[in-house]
């Protein structure tokens, strides 16, 4: 049984668990098949090394390195590795996640170029995968459209999967070879100047390659004319690539977008972005300045919903991470150039800052309305009084239907005091006193005293059987 013939393995079972269904592709290292696990019924992509390379130590090391490096990464934009081994028949295989879709190279061959909003999303997801690898000190070293697989989500947006870590190496290895007998280490069209020169590489080399992929995705053409030619490869060691306007003069490219490419494709790695994620963020922000179309708005709304949904389903996601995710999916600029940004979603368990801002505003509005009502109520007439009456009428209209419920809750909340209050003697009532009449020392006769009492209203009519009382001088 040999892996050199695509049809020889179809229908067979590898490692007692993978049933080969059909051939889906081929590469320099071997053939790729669609297989199904005989027990779990899970589809997998099985890469089988060519029989001629099984005895080659360097090829075997490269095949093993792909399994090791990819298995270290657990990221939604990196194809998962399920299994790796060798069968008793001498077949060396690698079982990985099967991706329903096609490569970016196949998409560009059919479409020529991607819509800028779509390109920003694809490059952003690719940068996320590469950033995860760089955080583990892993360099991909062979980034190209063929190694970016695209599948469609339910919302119509792309899901990007980074594949083929066969020539990936750790950044502390200190060794970089450009070629070897039988195959090249890397693809010349997407190599950085330092990779072409055989220098020690770091994460900025992958950034250079991703920027070249982004250039092709936006324009449909290579950043360097005749990029695979010998003279062009030598020239790329010190020169800069073509500008966007030189390749596609029919598109109004924003100046910030060209600046992003000028920095990411700088010949000197020190002049590039510090992190590949920073390059993707600036690229997305610059593309958002382009005039939107209906297609861009539809794709952008799908991206916004996807980013917010991920944020809400991830309680541990911090706000800066959510901000970066949503920032890449924000709505493009309007025709006037104003950028319409999407609000950052609040992750579950995180306090909502908007609530803290709304309460003080409502409190100020309530205080202002009450002050206006109080001031108008003090006026006898006029506009202020009319406004005050209107506020009062609205308040009574709004509160009227609620008053029965408020009274019911108030009565239910009232605590009845069952302890009898101590008896308190009622205060003694005082007998009414007759009004005092100021005696005049000069008035000595009884007639004068009666006249004074009559004028003061203090004289009372006595009952018929009772003689009127008389005042006796002391």
Q: Is 142 a catalytic residue?
A: yes
Q: What is the mean pLDDT of residues 133-159?
A: 91
CA distance 307 to 157: 11
Question: For residue 328, what pLDDT band results from cuts at 50, 70 and 90?
Answer: low
The model's pLDDT over 412-461, given as tens digits with 9 standing for 90+, comes to: 766 554 455 555 555 555 555 555 544 444 444 444 444 444 444 444 44
Considering only residues 437 and 120, tell me which one the structure prediction assigns the higher pLDDT: 120
Query: What is the pLDDT, as a whole number, of residue 427?
Result: 56
Least confident of 123-127, 143-147, 380-384, 396-400: 396-400
Average pLDDT, the chain: 75
Least confident of 54-58, 133-137, 258-262, 353-357: 353-357
Of the residues 16, 56, 128, 142, which is catalytic? Answer: 142
CA distance 190 to 216: 11
CA distance 26 to 161: 18
Q: At a CB cut-off of 8 Å and minimum separation 6, what does 371 contact?
A: none
Question: For residue 181, what pLDDT band results from cuts at 50, 70 and 90?
Answer: very low
Q: What is the mean pLDDT of residues 156-168?
A: 83
CA distance 140 to 167: 7
Considering only residues 457 and 26, tell me which one the structure prediction assigns the higher pLDDT: 26
The model's pLDDT over 197-207, given as tens digits with 9 standing for 90+, comes to: 888 889 999 99
The answer to whether residues 69 and 50 touch, using CB atoms and an 8 Å cutoff, is no
Least confident of 5-14, 114-123, 185-194, 346-355: 346-355
Question: For residue 240, what pLDDT band results from cuts at 50, 70 and 90?
Answer: confident
Q: What is the mean pLDDT of residues 141-165?
A: 91
Q: What is the mean pLDDT of residues 148-158?
A: 91
Considering only residues 142 and 353, tell me which one the structure prediction assigns the higher pLDDT: 142
The residue ranges of DSSP E strands in 258-411, in sequence order, are none
Least confident of 51-60, 110-119, 297-306, 367-376: 297-306
Q: Residue 300: enclosing H or E segment and its boundaries?
A: helix 294-312
Question: For residue 20, what pLDDT band results from cuts at 50, 70 and 90?
Answer: very high
Query: What is the pLDDT, as a whole number, of residue 118?
Result: 93
Q: Is the pTM of this model over 0.75?
A: no
Residue 292 has pLDDT above 70, yes or no: yes
Residue 283 has pLDDT above 90, yes or no: yes
Considering only residues 389 and 277, tell me which one the structure prediction assigns the higher pLDDT: 277
Q: Which residue stretches of 91-152 are H helix?
A: 104-111, 116-135
Least confident of 221-230, 351-360, 372-381: 351-360
Q: What is the mean pLDDT of residues 21-32?
A: 83
Query: What is the pLDDT, as a whole number, of residue 125?
Result: 96
Tell me which residue has tokens 């980013």. Answer: 307
CA distance 337 to 435: 94
Q: What is the mean pLDDT of residues 153-180?
A: 69
CA distance 460 to 439: 19
Tokens read off for 430: 């005082």
Q: What is the mean pLDDT of residues 348-375?
A: 69
Query: What is the pLDDT, as a whole number, of residue 8?
Result: 81
Least confident of 108-117, 125-134, 329-338, 366-375: 329-338
Residue 7 has pLDDT above 70, yes or no: no
Considering only residues 435 and 402, tell me which one the structure prediction assigns the higher pLDDT: 402
Question: For residue 398, what pLDDT band results from cuts at 50, 70 and 90?
Answer: confident
């Amino acid at each position: 049984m040999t892996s050199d013939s695509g049809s020889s393995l179809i229908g067979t079972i590898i490692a007692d668990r993978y049933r080969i269904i059909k051939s889906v592709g081929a590469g320099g290292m071997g053939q790729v098949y669609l297989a199904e696990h005989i027990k779990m019924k899970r589809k997998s992509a099985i890469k089988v090394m060519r029989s001629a390379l099984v005895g080659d130590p360097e090829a075997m090391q490269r095949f093993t390195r792909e399994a090791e490096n990819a298995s270290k990464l657990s990221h939604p934009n990196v194809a998962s590795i399920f299994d790796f081994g060798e069968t008793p028949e001498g077949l060396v295989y690698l079982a990985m996640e099967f991706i329903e879709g096609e490569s970016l190279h196949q998409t560009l061959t059919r479409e020529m170029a991607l819509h800028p909003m779509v390109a920003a999303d694809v490059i952003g997801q690719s940068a996320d995968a590469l950033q995860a690898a760089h955080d583990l000190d892993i360099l991909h070293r062979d980034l190209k459209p063929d190694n970016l697989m695209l599948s469609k989500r339910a919302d119509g947006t792309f899901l990007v999967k980074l594949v083929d870590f066969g020539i990936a190496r750790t950044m502390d290895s200190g060794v970089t070879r450009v070629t070897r007998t039988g195959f090249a280490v890397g693809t010349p069209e997407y190599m950085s100047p330092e990779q072409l020169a055989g220098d020690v590489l770091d994460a900025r080399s992958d950034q250079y390659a991703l920027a070249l992929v982004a250039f092709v995705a936006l324009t449909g053409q290579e950043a360097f004319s005749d990029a695979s030619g010998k003279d062009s490869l030598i020239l790329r060691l010190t020169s800069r690539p073509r500008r966007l306007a030189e390749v596609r003069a029919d598109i109004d490219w924003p100046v910030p977008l060209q600046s992003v490419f000028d920095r990411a494709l700088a010949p000197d790695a020190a002049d590039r972005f510090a992190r590949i994620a920073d390059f993707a963020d600036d690229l997305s922000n610059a593309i958002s300045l382009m005039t939107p179309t209906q297609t861009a708005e539809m794709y952008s709304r799908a991206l916004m919903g996807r980013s917010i949904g991920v944020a809400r389903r991830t309680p541990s996601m911090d706000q800066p991470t959510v901000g970066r995710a949503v920032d890449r999916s924000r709505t493009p600029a309007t025709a006037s150039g104003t950028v319409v940004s999407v609000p950052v979603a609040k992750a579950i368990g995180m306090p909502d800052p908007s609530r803290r801002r709304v309460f003080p505003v409502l409190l100020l509005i309530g205080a202002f309305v009450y002050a206006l009502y109080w001031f108008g109520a003090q006026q006898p007439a006029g506009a202020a009084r009319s406004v005050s009456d209107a506020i009062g009428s609205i308040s009574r209209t709004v509160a009227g239907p609620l008053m029965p419920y408020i009274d019911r809750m108030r009565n239910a909340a009232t605590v009845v005091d069952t302890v009898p209050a101590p008896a308190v003697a009622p205060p003694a009532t005082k007998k009414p006193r007759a009004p005092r009449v100021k005696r005049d020392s000069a008035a000595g006769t009884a007639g004068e005293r009666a006249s004074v009492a009559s004028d003061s209203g203090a004289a009372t009519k006595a009952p018929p059987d009772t003689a009127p009382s008389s005042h006796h001088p002391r």
